[in-house]
Amino acid sequence: MSAHGDVDLGHTLAGWTGTALATLGCAAAGAALCLGSAWAGALGAALLAAAALTTWLLHLAGWGKPSGPRPAAQWDWRVRDTAARAGHPDCLGCRMAGRRARALVVTPPAAGRAPVRA
């Protein structure tokens, strides 16, 4: 058992990569403020934009995680999300990419017929 108990903390390749790039971007922006350097400030802003874009693209490629808890077998950060191609329910990043997870709609069967999936 980990120090945080038996929970899914959401560690993913997309999350770690985005966090590393955002940390570098904040460090560059902070150094730019201390040095009064415009080019270092632009570098910091570019790294922050790259962090957001990289995290989003990795999420869409299946290296992120959907909202909510995952099964215990998928808690390791090296596990790829196979359902990402169809989109995650209630995920802003998936909606921005045009992916909409469709809920399974089952209509009640008519007399003597099997249920129909829409």
Whether the Cβ atoms of residue 66 and residue 86 lie closer than 8 Å to each other: no
Q: Position 13: which residue type?
A: L
pLDDT per residue as tens digits for the range 50-109:
999 999 999 999 898 877 777 788 888 788 887 788 888 778 888 888 887 655 455 555
* 90 CB burial (10 A radius; 0-12, 13-18, 19+): exposed
Q: Using N-to-C axis directions, what is the helix angle for 38-58 and 13-35, rounded to 10°?
A: 170
pLDDT per residue as tens digits for the range 9-55:
778 899 999 999 999 999 999 999 999 999 999 999 999 999 999 99
pLDDT of residue 111: 61
pLDDT of residue 100: 73
Whether the Cβ atoms of residue 101 and residue 87 lie closer than 8 Å to each other: yes
Phi, psi (degrees; rounded to nearest 5) at 90: 60, 30
Which residue in the block uniquely carries the two structure tokens 């400030």?
41
Look up the pTM and report it: 0.72
Rounded to an integer, what distance in angstroms lies between the CA atom of residue 95 and that of residue 66?
12
Whether the Cβ atoms of residue 110 and residue 101 lie closer than 8 Å to each other: no
